[in-house]
Each structure stands twice: as C-alpha cells, then as structure tokens.
Amino acid sequence: MIVKEEFLSRLRKIFDLNLYEVRVWTALLSRGVSTAGELSNISDVPRSRTYDILETLEKKGFIVMKLGKPIKFVALKPEEVVERVKKNLKRDADDKSKRLDKLKGEDILEELNSLFTQGIKFIEPSDLSGSVKGRQNVYNHLDMMIREAEKTITIVTTAPGLNRKMEALLPSLEKAKKRGVEIRIATQVNEDNKKIAEELEKVAEVRTMPKMRARFAIVDSEQLLFMVLDDEKVHPNYDIAIWLSTDFFTAAMEQLFEAAWKGFKKL
C-alpha cells in the first residue's frame, strides 16, 4: 500500500491519530476486511503493536471487529467515522467541562488560587508580560481581560476582526456592560459588518475609523494586548499578540487613543 506521507500527516491532525494508528487505519480502508497480520505487513507497523492499535481504533469508532476465527477487522465508511469522531469529541468535551465546573466548589481550586496569590506578590510589574500565539489563544486571553475589567474596555480592530470578536467576545462584553464597565470599539465599518457593529452598539459605543488599521485592546488603563500582524495576511494559527500589564505604558497608549477617538465617526 502506497499512501503519501503528506496525506497521512493531514489525517493525523484531523482525526488526532498517531503515525501507527493512521497507517493501520488506511491499510484497513484499502482492504475492507483484514487480519492483524495482514495489516501489519501492509502498513509496515510491527506485529507486536498492531493488535493494540486495532483495539484503540475500535474504541475510537474507526473500525469493527468481525465475529469468528481468525479474528478479522472491518473498515467503516469514512463518513460514518467522521460522525462517530464528532460525537466522541463532543462527549469528551462535555465530560471535561463538567469536571472543570466541579472545581469551582472544591478545595483544589482554592489551593491553586492560594499558590497564585503567593507567587504574584514576588513578581515585578514588568514581568507580567508575554506573547500569545494563535488567534484562538489571543481571543481567549482577551476574553479573560474583559471578564476581569472593572472600569473601561477599549477595543480597536479591523473590519473582519469585528465579526470575529462579535462571535467570540459578545457574552463577556454583555456581562461587563451589566457591571457598569464603559466599552468603546473602533473599527472600519462597511457593508459586510454594519449589522454586527449595530448589534455591538447595544453593549458598547462603536465608532468607525476609515483611515486607520490597528488591532489592540486596553482594559482599565492597566492591561494592553496588541496584535503585531495584519489579520488579512496571516494564517490564524500564526497570529501573535503581545500582552503587557503595566499602567505606565498602557495609560500612555490610552491617552493617545483618546485623541484619535474624538476624530472617529459615530455610526
């Protein structure tokens, strides 16, 4: 069986399989029904590992073990595998989410917070900084900043960025609004995101800045998160943001924004 390594690599990422698992699975797909010995020969996977791998693939919903002797394994339609993997991922995610929710009322979270509180006392403000890689991680960090906001939230984003932030951050922005936090958003408003901008006006003051392209957020004049790359030119996985927690620099940035804010147009 000749399968390109590039194809196997894509399958590994999509289905979260290791190299041996994806080799055995594709080998079985090419045969339909086969024994562990045959699959070992076809896939170049050691025979001593093949049975364990087939058992794992069966648990994950990729294959079915055929009744009778010798023991054989049956490949399932790829469409069926996709559906099973989706259901398993959702179930696992729900289980993990429930376990994490239970931590809120347990001693272990109090102990973790105690460790963090003790450690943070010895950190210089200049050390509270870092880079955040990957757009989803960037939004997760921004969401954390919004949830911690007490006074003000300032968000500057691009036209396509406004649509993404509406989806990722709206629940936290709504809660911040209810806490009395002042929220301002500056962006390029166009036909593609006008409705989104109008929806966000329920929780924030939105203004358009047609001649300016920037991506950053300031919270309580203390924390700054700014994206260093153009979101229209970089893949989401390679997006990068710099996070700073220093009131000196952040307050200066907010003062500069104040001057520009006055010149931005209201919706």
Q: What is the DSSP letter of 126?
A: G
pLDDT per residue as tens digits for the range 230-266: 998 999 999 999 998 888 888 889 899 988 898 888 8
Lowest mean pLDDT among 1-15, 130-144, 180-194: 1-15
Is the pLDDT confidence value at 125 over 70?
Answer: no
Last residue of a domain, one of 49, 81, 113: 81
Q: Which amino acid is at 202?
A: K
pLDDT, mean over the chain: 87
**Could you give phi then psi for residue 50, rounded to 5 degrees?**
-60, -45
Is the pLDDT confidence value at 120 over 70?
Answer: no
Looking at residue 249, its pLDDT comes to 86
149 and 208 assigned to the same domain: yes
Is the pLDDT confidence value at 121 over 60?
Answer: no
Higher pLDDT, 121 or 184: 184
155 and 251 assigned to the same domain: yes
Count of beta carbons in the 10 Å neighbourhood of residue 41: 14
pLDDT per residue as tens digits for the range 127-160: 557 889 999 999 999 999 999 999 999 999 999 9
- pTM given for the model: 0.61
Looking at residue 85, its pLDDT comes to 87
CATH no. for residue 18? Answer: 1.10.10.10
| Residue 22's pLDDT band (cuts 50, 70, 90) | very high
Is the pLDDT confidence value at 1 over 70?
Answer: no
Highest mean pLDDT among 64-68, 84-88, 130-134, 178-182: 178-182
34 occurs within a structural domain = yes
Contact between 186 and 156 under an 8 Å Cβ cutoff? The reply is yes
Higher pLDDT, 212 or 162: 162
235 occurs within a structural domain = yes
Can you count the helices (H) and strands (E) in the chain? 10, 11
The CA distances from residue 61 to 29, 57, 80, 88, 93, in Å, are: 14, 6, 9, 8, 17
Last residue of a domain, one of 81, 100, 118: 81
| Residue 26's pLDDT band (cuts 50, 70, 90) | very high
Calpha distance 15→29 (Å, rounded): 15
Give the domain extent around 231. Answer: 126-266
142 and 216 assigned to the same domain: yes
94 occurs within a structural domain = no
